[in-house]
């Protein structure tokens, strides 16, 4: 069983937007039906990834409700919550279950309904994954934490906020033709840097937006779909201190580093084998630090690498081909599954971008500032 290869045999996703006419259940069923249809499989188990259903939709027990709506009876179903990396964590759990049990397939759904909340409720919702005693209680927001980290990063590497905005430029350039992305438009560097300040030095167009969305993947031991195999070469999770400001080195992403090392060892591939890269690009400085932690760029050089075109679509390693959290959107618990569904379709040559000779993709999803990290490495069958 240890040598068993788990496959992504079906994918489904909704456009990320303000879904005023659709409920959390509606979106979940929509993406799940796509994944089931693509896979030609009826799942043995359903895992629902979500953070805010009780807060934004006044509803729990969603996995059972979704199962019933899909007409799936007599199967195990449950919910997983791990803040903004709930989606990837749910896939990680599904992968473990398939590798060790007699079940043949697991449907994983990640959904979040955020736009029904008021602005103040949204701010609170996005901080629920942080410590109540040390963060929430004092009214510290996620954007203020990201701004603090950004200042530390800028001062440590002598990089300007204007230059960091090049990450957002690339994200929006890649999302412009992606139909399910929240923003289908490009922004110039000047427009991004002139957008309103959210939490200095972060501009509005440097921060990933809130949005409603759902993405689903079917994991299975056999591929019965009409598309060629995409295998999960490794599925690894790790965690670190939830309060990044209490760490010995505030710029060290130990959770991400540990995850990557174990992922490469498990998958038996090298870093330079990675063709497609999806990271938790919630704000530019976080993105840069992730890329440098992983070794795709030297410390402090990710920004200059972005400017040079090292991670463009036509480069050896392409970054955030559908726009990432910044432009595709970041519906919390669904984000990690959007990454996996997008990379799967890109490896199968059926995405909005024409990517040739791409064989290996890496998806990195995290909660907070490297509190939890999950990395999936996907590869097409030889």
The percentage of residues in the chain with a pLDDT greater than 90, rounded to a whole number, is 87
- Given a cut of 70, is residue 3 above it in pLDDT? no
Give the bridge partners for 8, in sequence order. Answer: 219
Size (the chain), residues: 382
The confidence score (pLDDT) of residue 136 equals 83
Task: Look at residues 323, 307, 351, 308 and name the one whose alpha carbon lies nearest to residue 186.
Answer: 323
pLDDT band at 315 (very low <50, low <70, confident <90, very high): very high
Calculate helix-pair angle for 284-294, 166-175, nearest 10 degrees.
90
Instruction: Please answer whether residues 287 and 171 qualify as being in contact, where contact means their C-beta atoms are separated by less than 8 angstroms.
Output: no
User: Residue 343 phi/psi, 5° resolution?
Assistant: -65, -40
Give the tokens for residue 88: 């990837």
Q: What is the pLDDT of residues 225-247, one digit of tens each?
A: 999 999 999 999 999 987 888 88
pTM as predicted: 0.96
Instruction: Please answer whether residues 217 and 339 qualify as being in contact, where contact means their C-beta atoms are separated by less than 8 angstroms.
Output: no
Separation of first and last alpha carbons in the chain: 21
Instruction: Please answer whether residues 330 and 207 qualify as being in contact, where contact means their C-beta atoms are separated by less than 8 angstroms.
Output: no
- What is the C-alpha separation between 262 and 276, in angstroms, rounded? 19
Look over the chain and give the mean of its residue pLDDT values, rounded to a whole number.
95
Out of 14-18, 91-95, 101-105, 327-331, pick the least confident. 101-105
Task: Look at residues 263, 269, 278 and name the one whose alpha carbon lies nearest to residue 346.
Answer: 278
**Which residues make Cβ contacts (< 8 Å) with residue 139, sequence separation at least 6?**
none
pLDDT band at 1 (very low <50, low <70, confident <90, very high): very low
Exposure b/e, 237-247, CB count within 10 A at least 16 = b: bbbbbbbbeee
Q: What is the pLDDT of residues 199-214, one digit of tens each?
A: 999 999 999 999 999 9
- Output the 3-class SS for 180-241: CCCCCCCCCHHHHHHCCEEECCEEHHHCCCCCEEEEEEEEECCCCCCCCCEEEEEEEEEECC
367: left (phi over 0), alpha (psi -120 to 50) or beta: beta
């Amino acid at each position: 069983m240890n040598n068993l290869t788990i496959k992504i045999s079906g994918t489904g996703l909704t456009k990320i937007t303000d879904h005023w006419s659709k409920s959390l259940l509606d979106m979940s069923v929509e993406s799940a039906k796509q994944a089931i249809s693509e896979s030609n499989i009826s799942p043995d188990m359903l895992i629902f990834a979500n953070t805010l259903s009780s807060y934004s939709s006044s509803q729990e027990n969603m996995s059972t409700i979704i199962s019933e709506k899909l007409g799936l009876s007599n199967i195990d179903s449950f919910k997983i919550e791990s803040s903004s990396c709930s989606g990837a964590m749910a896939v990680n759990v599904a992968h473990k279950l398939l590798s060790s049990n007699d079940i043949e397939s697991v449907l994983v759904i990640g959904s979040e309904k955020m736009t029904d909340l008021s602005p103040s409720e949204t701010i609170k919702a996005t901080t629920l994954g942080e410590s109540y005693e040390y963060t929430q209680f004092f009214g510290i927001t996620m954007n203020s934490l990201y701004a603090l980290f950004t200042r530390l990063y800028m001062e440590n590497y002598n990089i300007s906020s204007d230059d960091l905005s090049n990450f957002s430029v690339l994200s929006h350039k890649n999302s412009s033709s992606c139909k399910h992305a929240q923003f289908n438009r490009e922004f110039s560097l000047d427009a991004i840097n002139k957008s309103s300040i959210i939490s200095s030095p972060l501009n509005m167009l440097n921060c990933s937006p809130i949005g409603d969305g759902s993405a689903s993947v079917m994991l299975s031991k056999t591929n019965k779909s009409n598309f060629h195999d995409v295998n999960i070469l490794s599925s690894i999770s790790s965690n670190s201190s939830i309060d990044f400001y209490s760490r010995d080195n505030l710029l060290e992403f130990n959770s991400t580093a540990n995850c990557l090392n174990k992922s490469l060892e498990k998958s038996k591939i090298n870093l330079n084998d990675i063709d497609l890269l999806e990271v938790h690009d919630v704000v530019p400085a976080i993105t840069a630090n992730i890329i440098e932690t992983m070794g795709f760029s030297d410390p402090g050089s990710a920004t200059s690498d972005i400017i040079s075109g090292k991670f463009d679509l036509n480069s050896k390693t392409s970054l955030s081909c559908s726009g990432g959290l910044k432009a595709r959107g970041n519906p919390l618990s669904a984000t990690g599954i959007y990454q996996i569904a997008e990379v799967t379709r890109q490896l199968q040559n059926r995405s909005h971008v024409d990517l040739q000779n791409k064989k290996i993709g890496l998806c990195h999803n995290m909660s907070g500032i490297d509190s939890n990290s999950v990395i999936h490495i996907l590869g097409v069958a030889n």
